[in-house]
Amino acid sequence: MKQPTTTDRRKSGERTPVRERWTAQPPGASDEAVAGAMLRSAALVRPFGAKELAEVGARLRSKERFRPRPLALQLAIASSLVLFGGVLSAAVSHVLRAPSQDRRDLPVAPPASKPVRHASLGSSRPASVISPALPAAEPLSEPTRELPATRPVVMRLNRAVAMRERTEAVAPAPSIEPPLAPPPAAGPSSLAQESRILARAIAELRQEGDAEQALAILDQHRAEFGTNGVLTSEANATRIEALLQLGHHVQALALLDAQSFSATGVGREMLVARAELRADRGRRASALHDFDLLLRADPPADFVTERALYGRAVCRGKAGNWEEARKDFEHYLATFPDGKFADKTRAAMNR
Amino acid sequence: MAEGSSGIPNLDALYRAHAPAVARWAAKLAGPCADVEDLVHEIFLVARRLLPDFRGEAKVTTWLYRITERVALENRRKDRFRRWFSHARRAEIEETISPPHLTPVDELERRQSSETVYRILDRMPDKYRTVIILFELEELSGEEIAALTGLKVATVWVHLHRARERFLAEVRRVSRRST
């Protein structure tokens, strides 16, 4: 007896069996189809690619721990910084303004350097307090004792200004530093080394047909360059090719899942391989997503499109979406009448 | 996998082999507001701390999945708390997960739909939420979910069935409200 398909069951108002994914259902108006469409939209996440892998790996190696601070704490820190900054800048401006006023109001100092030093120490005293009639040395030593004890920051700054004046007085003019020497030239370029390793792996894989040896060389690349290499994505592509040759589909799919590919150029081959592996593992929704990407914008009539058309038709058929599957099969036969899957396509259409 | 002298897998090898899968689990379990890189970092920090106690009684993937589940759960709790203060973080992070091939309108619809899905999922008990996410979003089979979560396969199907019932009820409620 013929098993009822998903479409038959839906027509008779039955629920989808629990083992069938909603996300693999064709679009429709039923609650389950709506739920499937919603879940499909949530299934798209940004792939954790080589760049992210390298960044998090570096953070792990540096043992740095990133913890975003709670907003309340961030606000508290920000406001205290602003407050502290305000107090500091007020103090600095006060200190820098006061000595110059003092100096302007002072009588012409004797050439000895000592009184000048004391003058700056007494800078917080108002200029009017320092009588121009008094001898220079006598009153200038007083103000340091008169400073209020509650202003330690200002006192420290006064001392700092005094120190600066002292050092300016004795220090010779700064010599002009010679420009920094350029960094020493790197030895053999790591890029050259990386490309040599990769070339060996590709030669083993494509010329010698030794995928295991290619994987061993790629492991060496990984050990030397980690995920930070310039050619890491190329190495990953070669690794995927080697894994597929060896029939290690699960590992290949894990690598493919971790990357995003464009539906142009070399990315197309990776995308179609990923779609086929996903479909093979029963992950029809994500497989259909990849096939759709490949077939979206007028693709060239090449082997990748051929595989994508056939793959999408099969996925749609398995999901019970026969109308769309038939369209793909017809499109396939029209474009590739003698294609690799032409016989299977005709058989499927006759069924 | 590379192992240390004591037979314990070392963290570097663990990270290289499993980080992509862990990132996928984390992204889907924690939802669209999560910063996946921070989560993966946190998960492997926990793994590093617990690694000396790992005796190999469970599969490494199962062990890592359980850490991921705990960290993702913790993250959701914190996120709920953070949302009391600000929506900025949510918007900022969602910007970064838009797939490049979608048009802006498609992307907006996808994001809204994804938010609705996670709002519905967040109302479910964790055991149902986890199973429906792993089955529908991560596209794992019942057996694979059982292996990861440590549940019996039959229990996985029961949880999935109940999760779907709740999900459908919420979808109906949402669509009634929107009409």
Write down which residue in B97, B123, B144 finishes a domain: B97
Is A70 inside any structural domain? no
Please judge whether B113 and A38 are an interchain contact, meaning their C-beta atoms are less than 8 angstroms apart: yes
Shortest CA gap A78–chain B (Å)? 16
B112 and B90: one domain? no
Higher pLDDT pick, A49 / B169: B169
Write down which residue in A169, A201, A235 finishes a domain: A169
| Calpha distance B17→B11 (Å, rounded) | 10
Which residues on A lie below 8 Å from B135 (Cβ)? 21
Please judge whether B41 and A71 are an interchain contact, meaning their C-beta atoms are less than 8 angstroms apart: no
Interface test with B, best of A45, A62, A262 (most B CBs within 10 A): A45
B49 and B80: one domain? yes
B48 and B14: one domain? yes
Query: pLDDT tens digits for A134-149?
Result: 344 344 444 444 444 4
- The CATH number linked to B128 is 1.10.10.10
- What the block records as the tokens of A259 is 């990357």
Chain centre to alpha carbon of residue A303: 34
Is A49 inside any structural domain? no
| Calpha distance B140→B126 (Å, rounded) | 17
A245 and A264: one domain? no
A308 and A275: one domain? yes
B23 and B61: one domain? yes
B46 and B79: one domain? yes
- What the block records as the tokens of A38 is 């919603």
Lookup result for tokens 């759960």: B73
Is A62 inside any structural domain? no
Write down which residue in B81, B97, B113 finishes a domain: B97
Which residues on B lie below 8 Å from A228 (Cβ)? none
Which residues on A lie below 8 Å from B99 (Cβ)? 44, 46, 260
Who among B16, B48, B137 is closest to A43 (CB)?
Answer: B137
What integer pLDDT is reported at residue B8 of this predicted model?
59
Give yes or no for residue A58 having a pLDDT over 80: yes
B57 and B31: one domain? yes
Average pLDDT, chain A: 72
Is A41 inside any structural domain? no
Which residues on B lie below 8 Å from A68 (Cβ)? 38
Number of domains in chain A: 3
What integer pLDDT is reported at residue A69 of this predicted model?
61
Query: pLDDT tens digits for A212-236?
Result: 899 999 988 888 887 777 888 888 8
Is A3 inside any structural domain? no
Number of domains in chain B: 2
What number of other Cβ atoms are within 10 A of residue A213's Cβ? 16
A345 and A278: one domain? yes
- The CATH number linked to A269 is 1.25.40
Is A63 inside any structural domain? no
Query: pLDDT tens digits for A145-163?
Result: 444 444 444 445 455 445 5
Which residues on A lie below 8 Å from B118 (Cβ)? 42
Q: Which domain holds residue B127?
A: 99-179
**Per-residue three-class SS string for chain A:** CCCCCHHHHHHCCCCCCCCCCHHHCCCCCCHHHHHHHHHHHHHCCCCCCHHHHHHHHHHHHCCCCCCCCCHHHHHHHHHHHHHHHHHHHHHHHHHHHHHHHHHHHCCCCCCCHHHHHHHHHCCCCCHHHCCCCCCCHHHHCCHHHHCCCCCHHHHHHHHHHHHHHHHHHHCCCCCCCCCCCCCCCCCCCHHHHHHHHHHHHHHHHHHCCCHHHHHHHHHHHHHHHCCCCCCHHHHHHHHHHHHHHHCCHHHHHHHHHCCCCCCCCHHHHHHHHHHHHHHHCCCHHHHHHHHHHHHCCCCCCCHHHHHHHHHHHHHHHHCCCHHHHHHHHHHHHHHCCCCCCHHHHHHHHHC
Any residues with CB less than 8 A from the CB of A241 and at least 6 apart, and which? A205, A211
Amino acid at A83: L
Q: How confident is the model at residue A9 (pLDDT cuts 50, 70, 90)?
A: low
| Calpha distance B51→A132 (Å, rounded) | 78
Check if B117 contacts A (Cβ < 8 Å).
yes
Is A38 inside any structural domain? no
Query: pLDDT tens digits for A280-304?
Result: 888 888 888 889 888 887 788 888 8
The predicted model gives A67-71 an average pLDDT of: 61
Which residues on A lie below 8 Å from B116 (Cβ)? 38
Higher pLDDT pick, B140 / B108: B140
Shortest CA gap B106–chain A (Å)? 10
Enter the pTM of the model: 0.53
The rounded radius of gyration (Å) of the Cα atoms in chain A is 38
A250 and A266: one domain? no
Give the count of alpha carbons within 13 A of A248, CB side only.
14
B75 and B126: one domain? no
Which residues on A lie below 8 Å from B153 (Cβ)? none
Q: Which of residues 217-246 of A touch B (CB under 8 A)?
A: 222, 227
B24 and B57: one domain? yes
B107 and B68: one domain? no
Which residues on A lie below 8 Å from B38 (Cβ)? 66, 68
Who among A46, A254, A257 is closest to B97 (CB)?
Answer: A46
Size of interface A-B (CB pairs under 8 A): 127
| Calpha distance A239→A259 (Å, rounded) | 13
Say if CB A145 and CB A115 are below 8 A apart.
Answer: no
Q: With pLDDT > 70 as the criterion, what percentage of chain A qualifies?
A: 66
Higher pLDDT pick, B164 / B115: B164
A234 and A272: one domain? no
| Calpha distance B166→A255 (Å, rounded) | 34
A157 and A221: one domain? no
A196 and A157: one domain? no
Is A271 inside any structural domain? yes
Please judge whether A39 and B136 are an interchain contact, meaning their C-beta atoms are less than 8 angstroms apart: yes
* Closest by Cα among A289, A343, A286, A344 to A314: A344
A153 and A163: one domain? yes
Q: Which of residues 68-127 of A touch B (CB under 8 A)?
A: 68, 70-72
Shortest CA gap A46–chain B (Å)? 5
B93 and B103: one domain? no
Q: Which domain holds residue A111?
A: 80-169
* Closest by Cα among A57, A105, A241, A162 to B20: A57
* Closest by Cα among B177, B175, B114 to A30: B175
The predicted model gives A313-320 an average pLDDT of: 87
Shortest CA gap B5–chain A (Å)? 18
B48-87: buried (b, 16+ CB within 10 Å) or exposed (e) per residue? eeebeeeeeeeebbebbbebbbebbeebbeebeebeeeee
Helix (H, G, I), strand (E, B) or coil at B3: strand
Write down which residue in B97, B125, B149 finishes a domain: B97
B3 and B90: one domain? yes
B141 and B119: one domain? yes
- The CATH number linked to B55 is 1.10.1740.10
